[in-house]
Amino acid sequence: MKPYELPAWRLREELAKGNIGVDEYVGSIFDRIERLEKALNTYITLRSREELETDVREAIRNDGKLAGVLVAVKDNIHVEDLPVTCGSRMLSNYIAPYNATVVERLVAEGAVVIGKTNMDEFAMGSTGETSAYGATRNPWDTDRVPGGSSSGSAAALAAGLATLALGSDTGGSIRLPASWTGLYGLKPSYGLVSRFGLVAYADSLEQIGPMARNTRDLALLLDVIAGFDPHDATSIREKPRGLLEAIEKGYSEELRGHRIVLVKDFLSHPGVDKAVKSILTEAASLLERLGAEVVEAELGNKVVDYALPAYYVIAMAEASSNLARYDGVRYGPKEPPRPWESWNEYYSRIRAKYFGTEVKMRIMLGSWMLSAGYRDQYYIRALKLRRLVRDQLLSLLKESDALLLPSAVTLPPRLGEVIDDPEKMYALDLANVLANLAGLPAITVPISRVAGIPMGVQLLGNYLSEPRLLRIAAALESATGLRDLVAEP
Ligand code: GLN
């Protein structure tokens, strides 16, 4: 294995023992970047090779859990002194004045941030194409999108341009790109990972989470970033124990005693491709072979169909309020004072010019849905549906350890295929928004190649059941052998 292909846990050992030189590791990643970045467009900001070599050399002096490992960070997470563009022209001149808590935790364990990854503008999108910095391409098939909104994190990791990556997941933005690029991705339980230093899109739904090429790395990265943070009012004090032990169990023991519900609604849903349905049943038989009991059950009550509109109403409502701060005064490009009639005119000019189309549409729809007269019809109704989704998921989880469902419901679209049709683009999130609405953890696991792309399925668990999800994912990883995959575009 070349250094750029190595899992983080092993790389850390090899660097510490001196079996792999710092310049050899950083050089191996930079060779990939020089060869592939132009075609893939994964980074918005990339630090220099010299700086990184110095930092990695420094980092491997102490024995942190990620000592010397290069981590790609989505560009909506603050890394001190680097730009945080959020994929938007609105923040093209904004430099992070501090580190997000997750970044502090990474640095404390010796990880080194390699750069900031491309993403859909303000994390609004499912394909990576709404970025103001150009679309990212899928390294398994460069005619296709990698999925969004953590598009650059997924593509960089899948192509060997980083060893680990952070994404954020408001409605699938970690899991969708992970399941289209052969990666493992996890959306943590709401409150487990601090959001301090994450630029807010829809706070009640989103979490920062890990992306990796194998489950042990995934657990390691989660273990480092999870934990209480007084700077985030929604941060919780508990942290599930045994995240890493869960992986060892998954690798070495059977899943006997585990009961998994295959969510039947997706098997008959017209929005789910045939190929995805067969991956789902393939995953179910793998789980059975591993000793788990798999039963089919329905969420019913049209939960799956209601979840998507409920998600988009809540997400747009929260976005309209969160993005009000980009007014060209506190944040955003400052325009030289031309004569203007009012501040309103100034704000409008800035916002019209520097926000992209998808973002503007969501701000307008979100404000409208919250306005007097429409609030009850849209926002309040969406909150009720959110409760229904949560209740139904929890009732299936009462009798089981995890739910098995799709993550991506189709193959990754080709560039340009869905971007002009919001309904088509939103439909890609069908299976992913459930976990966000309910605040529950969910993990994606690659199962099988379709058209050359290692496609994943999703396991959704009870609140703080991350160790159990990781154990099941690790068992599946052993069974499929789909680990440490690096695409050769
Ligand atoms: N595609 C969804 C949206 O556009 C989810 C994005 C995300 O998780 N950040 O809202």
Q: What is the pLDDT of residue 337?
A: 61
Q: What is the pLDDT of residue 336?
A: 66
**Which candidate, 47, 64, 439, places its Cα nearest to that of 221?**
64
Q: What is the pLDDT of residue 343?
A: 85
Rounded CA separation 205/138 (Å): 26
What lies within 8 Å, CB to CB, of 20 at 6+ separation is 3, 6, 11, 14
Q: Exactly one of 88, 126, 153, 173 is catalytic; which is it?
A: 173
Q: What is the pLDDT of residue 207?
A: 98
Give, for ligand 1, the residue of 117, 149, 150, 363 to mutate: max count of ligand atoms closer than 8 Å to Cβ: 149
Nearest atom (ligand 1) to Cα of 124:
4
177 CB near ligand 1 (under 6 Å): no
222 CB near ligand 1 (under 6 Å): no
- Decide if 263 contacts 406 (C-beta within 8 A): no
Distance 381 CA to ligand 1 centre (A): 20
Q: Is 28 among the catalytic positions?
A: no
Distance 125 CA to ligand 1 centre (A): 5
Q: Is 48 among the catalytic positions?
A: no
- Alpha carbon 224 to its chain centroid, in Å, reads 16
Number of C-beta neighbours around residue 232 at 10 A: 18
Q: What is the pLDDT of residue 329?
A: 86
Q: What is the pLDDT of residue 299?
A: 95
Q: What is the pLDDT of residue 11?
A: 98
Give, for ligand 1, the residue of 74, 118, 126, 434 to mutate: max count of ligand atoms closer than 8 Å to Cβ: 126
Q: What is the pLDDT of residue 332?
A: 80
Distance 170 CA to ligand 1 centre (A): 5
Q: What is the pLDDT of residue 258?
A: 98
Q: Is the pTM of this model over 0.75?
A: yes
Q: What is the pLDDT of residue 345?
A: 87
Q: What is the pLDDT of residue 107?
A: 98
126 CB near ligand 1 (under 6 Å): yes
The residue whose C-alpha atom lies closest to atom 2 belonging to ligand 1 is 171
∠ CA 389-182-441, nearest 5°, is 30
Q: Please list the ranges in the chain whose pLDDT falls under 70.
A: 336-338
Q: Is 173 among the catalytic positions?
A: yes
